Every structure is written in structure tokens, then in C-alpha cells.
Amino acid sequence: MITSHDVARLAGVSQPTVSRALRDDPKVSDATKQRVREAAQALGYSPSAIGRALSVGRSTRVGLVVTDLENQFYPHVIAPMHQELQRLGHELVLITESSESGPVAEHVIAHGLCGVILATTTLDSILPSRLRDRGVPFVYFNRTAQSVAADSVTVDPEQGVHELLRDIVDRGHIRIGAIFGPRNTSTGEEREQAVRVALDGHGITLAHRDVLYGPFDFRTGHEGARTLLDRTDPPTLILCGNDVVALGALNAAAELGVAVPGDISIAGFDDLPTSRWALIRLSTVAYDLDAMSREAARLIVARADEPDAAPTRAIYPTHYVARATIGRPRT
Amino acid sequence: MITSHDVARLAGVSQPTVSRALRDDPKVSDATKQRVREAAQALGYSPSAIGRALSVGRSTRVGLVVTDLENQFYPHVIAPMHQELQRLGHELVLITESSESGPVAEHVIAHGLCGVILATTTLDSILPSRLRDRGVPFVYFNRTAQSVAADSVTVDPEQGVHELLRDIVDRGHIRIGAIFGPRNTSTGEEREQAVRVALDGHGITLAHRDVLYGPFDFRTGHEGARTLLDRTDPPTLILCGNDVVALGALNAAAELGVAVPGDISIAGFDDLPTSRWALIRLSTVAYDLDAMSREAARLIVARADEPDAAPTRAIYPTHYVARATIGRPRT
DNA sequence: TAACTCAGTGCATACGCATACATTGGCGGC
DNA sequence: GCCGCCAATGTATGCGTATGCACTGAGTTA
């Protein structure tokens, strides 16, 4: 391995000068910088991130904490996040909460991550307070917990849900079912609340028996829709906690030979690329997930530099995208 | 930050003894180990991976080199790979080739990765030779390059394609089109060859004009299918380089109002979870992607320990899964 | 011209852990 | 009862980089 000492020897300077020159320290003369850069180039030297991390006590690696990596939602988070981090000279490492390598907070400390992005926080999660106690910077992404203040990047469902429900009511739906997300997540709660408030404005109440809850995954939508559609008098429309749930519901309907939107209408939330497919055409609530992911990346990098700055709360607006899974209720 | 020195002080031993005790070195007495463990526990100590990496000259981080993180294929690679690496006490870091942080090989060196998994190698890629020259262990995943010998985990398309084409021919297809993968990838080449050989066995040749090529993505299938279906006399079936391409083709057909498999049959390769959806029911060639991903993880970890062992070549068999996108040709 | 300044560079050291080597003490063999 | 051996632990050091401080010499000021 080629070290800064090798470069120093070739350039005829000391190792610290190499370190300073390559980081463009103003205390090094231009002539020396030039010479050092040439030597580094000639040797194919690239500074050891490990040595640097040990020395400065902080790495350039950011953890992304998720639970279900196979969930269709995450690629559209990971990709832009990774790209933005790379642009900022940082790396992305994946962490799952079911970490066999022990609790997340300890893992982060042990591996010297400069911060983490929490993408699957539950309202009652102790992770945020553990991270705060340990002094690990973190950012809430998509979901938040109440307990600990921190930077957050979230979605405000209100406008999108408002538009969605106006369309639904205009089309004549009265008997509405729902498969909401987990009640211990902020996204689950907020979306449910937005729906209830909007429905209230139209004088509609969800029947208790038409409301289901579950994780934001395919299976929840799949099993939930089967449950609702097996009824003798199912609702005429199913609101889903997110698009992945809606995809599960759509497929359940297909399996049962129930026409969408002829027999049942289905609504999602997220507007994933898959929802735009001609074979899917899911009516859903959209927001800029790509920009959100990038912003979370920028926030965590900035936070690592300024641990004590006031938390930033970025909230993204939503809007309704009408496609082909919402029609008139069966007469 | 709590270091091994703190633990040493509390346990009344020297720092190296802490290091040895916590790694279960047989040279430390059980009584001391016990005492050290208790001290570490009491202080909430977790060893710094950075310090260790610097000291032993090697980290426990594995890079996964991919190009298109949003491709539906990768979550099903990343998830099991991540899980297996975690089980082995390693981390997964994502690397894209279009690295703004410079060439991949340098990046790997600089960040002290203990190895990389190459998931998007092209046949003419110089990366493998760069890695070899730099002494960075790597594993070919799914695709290989000819140039450099290394561990590899790949798929043998022969059996699956054989079964697929028997079904196709049995149903009476003669005029067959194809949207193959890139010609500069081993997977693209091998699958094309398997198809041509199998077709040959049935006395069928692909018409040159019915064969398209492109990256393994949605757009390739989407545009390719539109091209083929716009013909006055399109083929009766389209073989796709992989499932993501087939999904693009299916959606193109849906947009054009072309019935599948009534008007056109479509075949894929990979058997992604999405292909099993009731709304998709893609007939395709399957293999155990999950096991492959885990094996790649195990191989790279083993390789980091034994850089000079003979390369392992794991080859996974394929089989045909008949679903609903292949029917009889239109009469 | 002597004292002073400051840009530019080198020296020494720290970061946290692992490891080669030195040291200690207890025990068995003769 | 002396020597030697081995188990158990400590000492010293290295990994590659960053940084506080000391130093040098050229230019500036009085």
C-alpha cells in the first residue's frame, strides 16, 4: 500500500506537508502543492480513509437504517440518497435493525459512522434516544418519532389526501374501506388522520369493520384486500396506506376475479414508478421522493459538521394523481 | 468515546489484554476474560472497527459494485447479500461505477474495503484487471469478464432455456422475436447462445430483424416491444433478456392494446417476485437468486482470508416456470 | 541594523487497536 | 534444590493521517 510517506519521499517534503497539500491547505505554497500532486499522481496514491477516520475521529460514512430491504419502496430511496452522498464525498452503508451485529447505536459507534438516516422509525422506538445519548447524529426520513428532536424530512399528506377524497366522493363512493399502515408509525398515523379529517368534511365516517392495519408491505395489502373482498358486502373502495400495500390489494383483486375499478376501486400513496405502469395505473398520492432522499443525505452530512445547530424540518407537499384504479361504485 | 484503555483501567489489566480477552484469545485466562467482559459491559464499550482496521490493515467492509440501483433486480440481490454479510460480521457498502469519487479500484483501496462483489461487469471491463493489479479481492456475481480469473457465482441458462423453448415450440410458435441483453455482458451472451442452440434443436432460426439488444432495464423491454409490435407482421412471441425487460415489454403491449398471450407471448428470465404477481404472471426461467447472493457474500469474505486459494466457480441451474404470458400463436 | 512578522515547512504526537517480544511466576523434573 | 518450561500478562511499537507547535528564512518596520 502506498502511503503519504511514500509521496513525501518522492516529492522531497515531509508527510504532514503531503497531507496538507492534498487537502488544499492554504498554508502550503502553490509550488509545493503542485510537486506533491505530481508525486501522488505518479505513485497512484489515494489517501487512506481509515487512517484519516482514526485521526480526525470521524469517518465519511453514513448509515441507512431500514428493516425490509426487499420492499419496493426502498430502491427509490437508496438510489438518490447514494448518489447525493457520493456527490458529497460520503459512502452509504446499509444497516438493518434486526442487526445480528448488536444494537444499532453500538454498531454505529463501533464503525465510526458520521451519522445515520432512520427510514423505519416507529413512534415508540428507543433508537433515537439511544443515538442522542451516544451523540450520534441522525435524521428522520419519511417517518419520525416524537421522543427526540432531530432533523427530519417528511411528507405532509393533507393536500394529496384532500384531492384524492374529493375525487372519490365526487364519483359517489360512500362505503369506503381502508388498509392503513402501522399505528405505531408517524406516516401510518398521519395518513389515517388526513383521511379521517377529509372524510369528515364530506360527512363520511369509516366503518370500524372496514378498517385494517398492517406493515407497509405487499402482504398487508394482499391479505387485507382478500379480507375485505370476501365480505358479502365489501366497501366500494379501498384506501391503502401506501403504494406497496395497494399493489398487494390490486393483485388480491386480480386473484379473486374482482374487476378494478369496475367492482372495487383502490387508492395508494407514494406514486412509485411501478404505479405508473400501464398494467397497474394506480391512482395515488404523489410527492417528490427523490428530492426528499437527497435532502436527507445533505442534512446528515451537514449535521455531522454542526452537531449543535437547530434541527431542520423539511416537509414535502403531496398531490393527487388520478389514474385507472378509481372509478364509480358499482350500482 | 470509550476505548480499550478505559476498559483496561476498570478491569485492572493492560490494554492489550482487553484486546485479547474480547476476541477470546486462548492466551488469556478465563478469570481475566470474565473480568474484562464485565468491565466492557459496564462501560458500554464496543471496539472501534476503525482502529482495528488500521491495525490489521483490513476492514470488514465489502463493496457491492452496481450501476443501476433503481433496477428492480437489485433489491433481491442486496437484501440476502446484506443479511449474509451481517451474519459474518461484515458490512455492505454500495458503490456505483459512475463513481464521482474516482475510479472504483482507487475507491476500494482508499476506503480499505476487504473486497468487492462485481454485479455489473461487462466482458470488456478493465475493472477486474485493475483490481487484480491492486491486489483487491473480488467476486464476479451473475456476470463475469473473461480477462481475469476470480471467484464467480453465475447462472447456467441452458436447462431453463431448453425447457422454455420446448414449451414455446410445442405451442406452435415459429416466428420468434427477442430482446436480448447487452452483447458485452456474459449473461447477455450466454442467454442468447442458449436460446440459439435450443432453437437450432427445433430447426428454428431467429430472423435478424426480429432480434434487438439493450441494457437489462425496463426501457429496453418497453421500447423494444413497441418496435417489434409496430411491425405489420410482428413475431408471435418475444423472448426477453431478463424479467425487467419482460416487464417493460408487457407494459408496452398493454399500452398498445395488444393482448398477452392472445396476440403476443412474452418470456422472461430471473423469476423476480414481481413476475409472480397475479397481475403479471410472467412465464420465465427461474433460479435461486437468494442463494446465489448469499454465496457471493460468503465467497468474498473467505477470499479476504485466503487471497491465494484457487478460485471457486459456483454455477446455479435454471428451470422453466410456465405462467400466463405464453400461449398459442394467433392463427 | 536589530527586532519583528509571517508564510512555509518539519517535528512530534495522537487516534484505537493488534501483535511481536519481554517479563513474571508457578510448577514439574531430575 | 536448581533449572527449565509454559501459561499469563505487560511493554513497546506500528498501522496512515491530521494537527499543534517549533522552527527557518525572507521581508518589513523603526
pLDDT at A263: 96
- Which of A50, A61, A218, A223 to mutate: most B Cβ within 10 Å? A50
Q: For residue A330, name the pLDDT band (cuts at 50, 70, 90).
A: confident
CA distances from A279 to B252, B258, B259 (A): 9, 12, 12
Q: For residue A101, name the pLDDT band (cuts at 50, 70, 90).
A: low
Output the DSSP codes for B119-134: SS--TT-SHHHHHHHH
pLDDT at B105: 86
pLDDT in tens, B218-249: 999 999 999 999 999 999 999 999 999 999 99
pLDDT at position A99 over 80: no
pLDDT at position A108 over 80: yes
Cβ pair B111:A49 closer than 8 A: yes
pLDDT at position B210 over 70: yes
The predicted model gives B5-21 an average pLDDT of: 95
Q: For residue B307, name the pLDDT band (cuts at 50, 70, 90).
A: confident
pLDDT in tens, A137-150: 999 999 999 889 99
pLDDT in tens, B154-178: 999 999 999 999 999 999 999 999 9
Q: What's the mean pLDDT when you consider all of chain B?
A: 94
pLDDT at B272: 98
The answer to whether the beta carbons of residues A182 and A242 sit under 8 Å apart is: no
pLDDT at position B179 over 80: yes
pLDDT in tens, A182-197: 999 999 999 999 999 9
The answer to whether the beta carbons of residues A316 and A154 sit under 8 Å apart is: yes
Q: Whole-prediction pTM value?
A: 0.94
The predicted model gives A20-44 an average pLDDT of: 94
pLDDT at B102: 67
Contacts of B247 in chain A (CB under 8 A): 277
pLDDT at position B100 over 70: no
What interhelical angle do B4-11 and B15-22 show, nearest 10? 100
Burial of A66 (0-12, 13-18, 19+ CB in 10 A): buried
Using a 7 Å cut-off to protein CB atoms, list the covered nucleotides of chain C.
7-12, 14-20
Q: Calculate what percentage of chain A has a pLDDT beyond 90.
A: 88
Contacts of B257 in chain A (CB under 8 A): none
Q: What gap in Å lies between CA B31 and CA B52, rounded to an integer?
A: 25
Cβ pair B75:A69 closer than 8 A: yes
pLDDT at position B77 over 80: yes
pLDDT at B40: 95
The answer to whether the beta carbons of residues B142 and B292 sit under 8 Å apart is: yes
Q: For residue B144, name the pLDDT band (cuts at 50, 70, 90).
A: very high
